[in-house]
Amino acid sequence: MKRIVAMNSLTLITAFLATLLILVPFDASAQKPIKVGVIDTYTGPAAVFANDALNGFKLALDEINKKGVLGSKIEFTTRDDKWKVDLGMSVAKELVMREEVDLIVGTINSAVTLAISDYMKSEKVPFIVWISKSEHITGSKGHRYVFSTGENTAMAGKAGGVALAKKPYIKYWIAGDDYEYGHAIADAIWRNLKALKPSVEKMGETWWKTGEPDLIPYFTSVIGAKPDAFIVCGGGMTMANSLKACKTTGIHEKIPVFMHTATDHAVLKPLGLEAPEGVMGTMDYHFYYPETTANKAFVKAFQDAYGAPPGFPAFHGYITAHFIAEAFRKAGAIDKEKFINALEGMVIDSPGGKIEMRACDHQAVLPFYLGVTKKVPQYNFLISGDIVTLAGKDVMPSCEEIMKARGK
356 binds other proteins (CB under 8 A): no
Listing from the earlier edge strand, what are the strands of the sheet with 229-233? 201-208, 171-177, 229-233, 257-259, 280-283, 368-374, 383-390
Is 15 a binding residue for other proteins by CB under 8 A? The answer is yes
Binding-site string for other proteins from residue 59 to residue 88, where x marks contact by CB under 8 A and - marks none:
---------------------x---xxx--
Total site size for other proteins, rule CB under 8 A: 73
332: contact with other proteins by CB under 8 A: no
Q: How far is the CB of 37 from other proteins (least distance, A)?
A: 12
Q: Does 387 bind other proteins (CB under 8 A)?
A: no
Residues found in the chain: 408
CB-wise, 207 or 289, nearer to other proteins? Answer: 207
Query: Which of 98, 330, 375, 393 contacts other proteins by CB under 8 A?
Result: 98
Helix axes 293-306, 47-67, angle to 10 degrees: 110
Which of 132, 249, 261, 350 lies at the binding interface for other proteins (CB under 8 A)?
Answer: 249
Q: Considering the complex, what minimum distance in angstroms separates the CB of residue 119 from other proteins?
A: 8
| 11-19, 158-166, 335-343, 376-384 -> range binding other proteins (CB under 8 A) | 11-19
In whole angstroms, how close is the CB of 388 to other proteins at the nearest point?
29
Member of 34, 37, 39, 45 binding other proteins (CB under 8 A) = 45
Q: Which of 213, 375, 393, 399 binds other proteins (CB under 8 A)?
A: 213
Least Cβ distance, residue 330 to other proteins (angstroms): 30
Q: Binder to other proteins among 36, 111, 184, 185 (CB under 8 A)?
A: 111
Are 243 and 280 a contacting pair, CB within 8 Å?
no
Residue 100 burial class via C-beta count within 10 angstroms: exposed 0-12, middle 13-18, buried 19 and up: exposed
Which residue's CB is nearer to other proteins, number 249 or number 261?
Answer: 249
Cβ closer to other proteins: 221 or 389?
221
Applying the rule CB under 8 A, the residues between 123 and 142 that interact with other proteins are none
Smallest distance, other proteins to C-beta of residue 225, A: 7
* Single residue of 140, 221, 292, 398 touching other proteins by CB under 8 A: 221
CB of 187 to other proteins, least distance (A): 13
Query: Can you tell me the distance from the alpha carbon of 226 to that of 362, in angstroms, rounded to the nearest whole number?
Result: 42
**Selection from 147, 138, 137 nearest residue 346 by Cα:** 147
Check binding of 211 to other proteins (CB under 8 A).
Answer: yes
Cα distance between residue 137 and residue 150, in whole Å: 11
Min dist. Cβ of residue 357 to other proteins (A): 25
Instruction: Return the residues of window 149-208 that contact other proteins according to CB under 8 A.
Output: 175, 178-180, 183, 205-208
240 binds other proteins (CB under 8 A): yes
Region near other proteins per CB under 8 A, out of 54-62, 244-252, 295-303, 397-405: 244-252
42 near other proteins, judged by CB under 8 A: yes
Using CB under 8 A, pick the residue from 167, 194, 197, 248 that binds other proteins. 248
107 binds other proteins (CB under 8 A): no
Using CB under 8 A as the binding rule, whether residue 44 contacts other proteins is answered as yes
Q: Of residues 33, 43, 191, 228, which one binds other proteins by CB under 8 A?
A: 43
